[in-house]
Amino acid sequence: MTRKHQTLGEFIIENQTSFQYSSGELSKLINAIRLAAKVVNHEVNKAGLVDVIGAAGDTNIQGEDQQKLDVFANDKFISTLTNRDVVCGIASEEEDSFISINSNDEQHQNKYVVLIDPLDGSSNIDVNVSVGTIFSIYRRITPVGTPVQLEDFLQPGHQQVAAGYVVYGTSTMLVYTTGDGVNGFTLNPALGTFYLSHPNMQFPEDGKIYSVNEGNYVHFLQGVKDYIKYCQQEEGDRPYTSRYIGSLVSDFHRNMIKGGIYMYPKSSVTESGKLRLLYECNPMAFLAEQANGIAIGGKTRIMDIQPTELHQRVPFFCGSKNMVKKLQEFLAKYQ
């Protein structure tokens, strides 16, 4: 039974029977993510005091400049998940390819793979703006006892068994779902413990916030341009408020609590969109749908897209139901 202020550990134990594959492994995996998040949170909070801000001098597989905390967070999540012996494979936004992991007891006996964006919005670190971690969990589809394969990671989002994010902000929160609603846990830094603070999180069906990088407006498709103009018109409960942080975790988190829509469309500059299907869109779509929201890539439900590559990019729209449905009306005019 869900009780506000119970610890994340207590919540996992009390609710693991509602998970269809309940065997204790998923609980260990969530606990491993919790541990790594606490370490990364400690490092994020030292930014400015020690040499953890700024560029690391390398680029990732997407050709983006890596920040020092990108590298730290990536290493910390990979090492924690590997050492706790709970996964058979990891794919990270910061790595060229997936990582196959052997079990300590027997070869390749673990059943889960994790896909992770270790530090979403890391370019904001230098200016003390909230950043986050996004994770997605699947059961492997290749036989247990064999090395993990690419196909274990290239599963559509509706096959996810769990997904979530950590937001490192004015308070640090871990928000996740296993397909039975969305719950948020806030870290008590004095005790190092996450407590249930936001049970059964839900998107309001209507919202007044639209989140999009309007600096790219001239490059957007006409349907998106028309919807933005609709948001800006003074009519009824409009104009809506524009709020865009540039960190997917932070924008999503605010919109889920207050009601709103997040948009990162494709454009004449980014023909396929910019956000990664596996590391960002699928986990956020799972959370959105579990929280009474909608997530689409245009005409298509995000979680119905069949991935074709690890670092695939797609357009992404998600948020309050009525706002996304109104966007779909505008998009349909040009499809």
Which residues are known binding-site members for substrate?
120-123, 213, 244, 274
Beta strand extents in 218-311 (DSSP E only) = 241-242, 260-264, 275-276, 293-296
| CA nearest neighbour of 274 among 264, 262, 285, 289 | 264
Beta strand extents in 154-271 (DSSP E only) = 162-168, 172-177, 182-188, 193-198, 209-211, 241-242, 260-264
Locus of tokens 């919202």? 207
Q: How far is CA 236 from CA 230, 233, 260, in A?
A: 11, 9, 16
| CA nearest neighbour of 220 among 209, 233, 231 | 231
Handedness of CA 327, 330, 333, 335 (dihedral sign): negative
Cα(131)–Cα(143) distance, integer angstroms: 37
Q: Establish how many alpha carbons lie within 13 A of residue 237's alpha carbon, considering only the half-sphere containing its beta carbon.
A: 6
Q: Mark the binding-site residues for Mg(2+), compressed into ranges.
A: 93, 117, 119-120, 280
Pairing of strands 193-198, 182-188: antiparallel
Q: Mark the binding-site residues, compressed into ranges.
A: 93, 117, 119-123, 213, 244, 274, 280
Structure tokens, 282? 């699928």
Structure tokens, 120? 């979403």
Backbone angles phi, psi at 55, to 5 degrees: -75, 145
Taking only Cα atoms into account, the Rg of the chain, rounded to an integer number of angstroms, comes to 19
Cα(252)–Cα(260) distance, integer angstroms: 9
Task: Determine the length of the chain.
Answer: 335
